[in-house]
């Protein structure tokens, strides 16, 4: 069988993890790398075993030798790049958030025809899957509620050195759209269809440096009648493990990063613990698993399960927080 030919756009921090995963996959060949900064493109191409590189991503749109494109660029570029590539018939795997605006995300879904995947790698964690199965099979009774929290640390230099973080036009938001979107996605993945969100976003620490929020909280209400309480901040002194708790009628499942504890009537059991890995632990460690599974879908010519429709609720929810923060009213989802 011919190898699937892949290109990657955006050679910053996260691209290293994509290239690492791609070079370990059989039947997949990274043929070109793109960045506006030549040195970065060259360096990533070397990591990929010396593949070609370009400074112009639009080369990929009309290139018949490229089947799949990974988008690892700043948020505001995800939608225009994905839309052009999808319209040209390519498969696209984009980093989170799928877009920085809901309308752009909806346009991506409209043109995708089952060819779009979004990186929410934490859904692949063993701990996430354990909680999801408990929700679905009802082994602890009904799910009564969820909570999630993110206490991370981001310096002024993290924003000022990037050229795109910290500004509404290029990042599309702050801690919600960038760091804690994964946790919102997990709450939505576990809680099912959300009907409304009410919350608040503010810049508590870095208001002299960034336009966007460094702190936010919200209440998500689900069709099932349960709620999820959520808090996220980049103002803490360290990157602490993300916490998610799922409270059932007969048990509580408590997640710290990838360590999962199960409490049944006060008897606490360790279900799984954080995997040792070179990948930044607070990102989660699921990139390799997600990318492998994405290519299984490509090979079998079927849609990837974390597609635009599956990724959209997290974007809608966080944009709802921005709106409800202004109006002080719940936003319907």
Ligand X SMILES: NC(=O)c1ccc[n+]([C@@H]2O[C@H](COP(=O)([O-])OP(=O)(O)OC[C@H]3O[C@@H](n4cnc5c(N)ncnc54)[C@H](O)[C@@H]3O)[C@@H](O)[C@H]2O)c1
The helix (H) or strand (E) run that includes residue 315 is helix 308-327
Among 20, 23, 29, 40, binds ligand X (CB under 6 A): 40
Position with the least CB separation from ligand X: 12
Return the number of other C-beta atoms located less than 10 Å from residue 26's C-beta. 8
Q: Which residues pair with 112 in a beta bridge?
A: none
- Quick check: helix, strand or coil at residue 7? strand
214 binds ligand X (CB under 6 A): no
Provide the 3-class DSSP secondary structure of residue 123: helix
Looking at the Cβ atoms of 47 and 178, the one nearer to ligand X is: 178
The Cα–Cα gap between 206 and 177 comes to 17
DSSP labels for 215-272? EEEEEEEETTS-EEEEEEESBSSS-PPPEEEEEESS-EEEEETTEEEEEETTEEEEEE
By beta-carbon proximity to ligand X, the closer residue of 10 and 308 is: 10
Q: Does 31 bind ligand X (CB under 6 A)?
A: no
* Binding segment toward ligand X, per CB under 6 A, in 36-44, 254-262, 270-278, 294-302: 36-44
Strand 52-54: give its sheet, edge to edge.
52-54, 28-34, 4-9, 68-71, 91-94, 116-118
User: Which residue, 226 or 290, is less far from ligand X as judged by CB?
Assistant: 290
**To which residue do tokens 């576990």 refer?**
190
* Among 4, 6, 7, 9, contact with ligand X (rule: CB under 6 A): 9
| Torsion angle, alpha carbons of 289, 316, 85, 297, to 10 | 30
- Of residues 280-309, those binding ligand X (CB under 6 A): 283
Q: Which is nearer to ligand X, 48 or 251 (CB)?
A: 48
Which residue of 3, 37, 169, 264 would you call a contact of ligand X, by CB under 6 A? Answer: 37
Verify binding: residue 153, ligand X, rule CB under 6 A. Answer: no
Contact flag: residue 174 with ligand X (CB under 6 A):
no
Contact 304, 117 (CB under 8 A): yes
CB of 74 or CB of 199, closer to ligand X:
74
Q: How far is the CB of 137 from ligand X (least distance, A)?
A: 28
Regarding 124 and contact with ligand X (CB under 6 A), the answer is no
Q: Is 121 in the site for ligand X (CB under 6 A)?
A: yes
CA separation for the pair 126, 134 (Å, rounded):
12
Least CB distance to ligand X at residue 330 (A): 27
Among 70, 90, 91, 96, binds ligand X (CB under 6 A): 96
Shortest separation between residue 315's beta carbon and ligand X, angstroms: 12
Question: Tokens representing 16?
Answer: 């290293």
- Asked if 194 is part of the footprint of ligand X (rule: CB under 6 A), the reply reads no
Task: State in angstroms the smallest separation of the CB of 135 from ligand X.
Answer: 23
Cα angle vertex 69, ends 63, 70, to 5°?
155
When asked if residue 69 is in the footprint of ligand X (CB under 6 A), the reply is no
Beta carbon of residue 262, minimum distance to ligand X (angstroms, whole number): 26
Helix (H) or strand (E) holding 332: strand 331-332
Give residues in contact with ligand X (CB under 6 A).
9-15, 34-37, 40, 57, 72-75, 77, 95-96, 119, 121, 162, 178, 283
């Amino acid at each position: 069988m011919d190898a699937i030919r892949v290109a990657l756009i955006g050679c910053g921090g996260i691209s290293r993890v994509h290239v690492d995963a791609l070079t370990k996959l059989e039947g997949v060949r990274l043929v070109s790398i793109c960045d506006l900064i030549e040195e970065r493109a060259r360096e990533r191409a070397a990591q990929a075993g010396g593949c070609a590189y370009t400074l112009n991503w639009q080369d990929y749109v009309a290139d018949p030798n490229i089947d799949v494109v990974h988008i690892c660029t700043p948020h505001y570029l995800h939608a225009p790049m994905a839309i052009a590539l999808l319209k040209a018939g390519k498969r696209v795997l984009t980093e989170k958030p799928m877009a920085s605006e809901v309308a752009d995300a909806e346009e991506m879904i409209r043109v995708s025809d089952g060819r779009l995947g979004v990186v929410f790698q934490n859904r692949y964690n063993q701990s996430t899957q354990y909680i999801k199965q408990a929700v679905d099979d009802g082994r602890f009774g009904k799910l009564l509620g969820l909570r999630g929290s993110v206490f991370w640390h981001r310096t002024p230099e993290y924003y000022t050195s990037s050229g795109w973080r910290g500004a509404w036009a290029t990042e599309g938001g702050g801690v919600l759209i960038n760091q804690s979107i994964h946790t919102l996605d997990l709450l939505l993945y576990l809680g099912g269809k959300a009907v409304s969100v009410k919350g608040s976003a503010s810049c508590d620490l870095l208001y002299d440096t960034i336009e966007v929020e460094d702190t936010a909280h919200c209440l998500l209400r689900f069709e099932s009648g349960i709620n999820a309480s959520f808090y996220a901040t980049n103002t803490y002194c360290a990157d602490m493990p993300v916490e998610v708790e799922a409270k059932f009628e007969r048990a509580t499942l408590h997640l710290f990063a990838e360590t999962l504890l199960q409490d049944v009537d006060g008897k606490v059991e360790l279900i799984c613990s954080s995997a040792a890995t070179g990948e930044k632990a607070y990102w989660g460690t699921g990139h390799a698993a997600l990318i492998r599974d994405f290519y299984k879908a490509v090979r079998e010519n079927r849609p990837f399960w974390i597609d635009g429709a599956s990724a959209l609720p997290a974007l809608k929810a966080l944009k709802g927080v921005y709106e409800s923060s202004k109006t002080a009213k719940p936003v319907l989802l």
